[in-house]
Each structure stands twice: as C-alpha cells, then as structure tokens.
Amino acid sequence: MASGELGHDNLQRALQGFVDLLEYDSDDFPAIARDGLDNGRIQKFEYSVELFWKYLRSCLMAEGLDVPNSPRGAIKAGLDRGFVLETEYQPALDLIADRNTCSHIYKQSLMPGVLARLPAHARLMQAITARLPAAPPS
C-alpha cells in the first residue's frame, strides 16, 4: 500500500464506505445479490483493516516508537501508547483474526460468523481511529 494511501482522511473514507455497505439489509435481496453484497462487505472489511493497522503503525512510528511491521504488533504498540484501550485489545486481535480468515484461510463455512461480526469490527476501528492524530504521519 502506497504511503499516500495511509492518510487519516483515506482511512475515514474507507471506514465510512464499509459502514455504509453494512447498513443494507441483505434479506431484501435475492440470493445472488446477497452473495455479491456479502462479498463486497468482506472486501471492504479487508481493505479497511489494512488501512487501519498501517495507519495506526505510521502514527506510532511518527512518535519515534519502534513498531513491528505486523497488524498484531501495531495493535499491541497502540495499546501501550494508549490509542487502543484495554477493553479494545482482544476485540482488535479478533478483528485481525477475522481479516486473516477472509484473506488467507477462506473457508466458506466460517463466513457467516465473520459477516455477523463486521458491524462490531467497524465500530471498533472507528473508535480507535477517532483517537489517532488527523495530521498525516511524517
């Protein structure tokens, strides 16, 4: 992901697009459209998570912190710095686990559970993002 894509505004736009897509009731659509909607939700989730952890990491690094180049490392460092609250730490790790399920493991049988957790994941990323500096990291 190019460094220009890691801005706070880009992250907020990605999260808003993700949230907007979650607002549709998939029961209102025929099966083929539901499948497309669910696939779109998963894709927006994956993209939002990538922007989220990389922006979190860039904010921490801008403060001079040594942060591992991994989602879990960035979240742990965010916890240590106070961007991620104690009550958010395990849910944030669960968010990464769900992203990994979608991106690396992809088992159709796991998708309903992931889809059910997407609204909570979106709220979590929005809450943490609200604590991050809005100025682009240098």
pLDDT tens per residue, range 37-86:
999 999 999 999 999 999 999 999 999 999 999 999 999 999 999 999 99
pTM of the model: 0.90
Based on the structure, what is the number of domains in the chain?
Answer: 1
Residue 81 belongs to what domain range?
A: 3-131
- CATH number, position 29: 1.20.120.330
Q: Give a yes or no: residue 137 inside a domain.
A: no
For residues 33 and 51, is the Cβ–Cβ distance under 8 A? no
For residues 37 and 24, is the Cβ–Cβ distance under 8 A? yes
Q: Give a yes or no: residue 136 inside a domain.
A: no
Task: Note the helical H segments in the chain.
Answer: 8-22, 31-62, 71-81, 86-100, 111-131
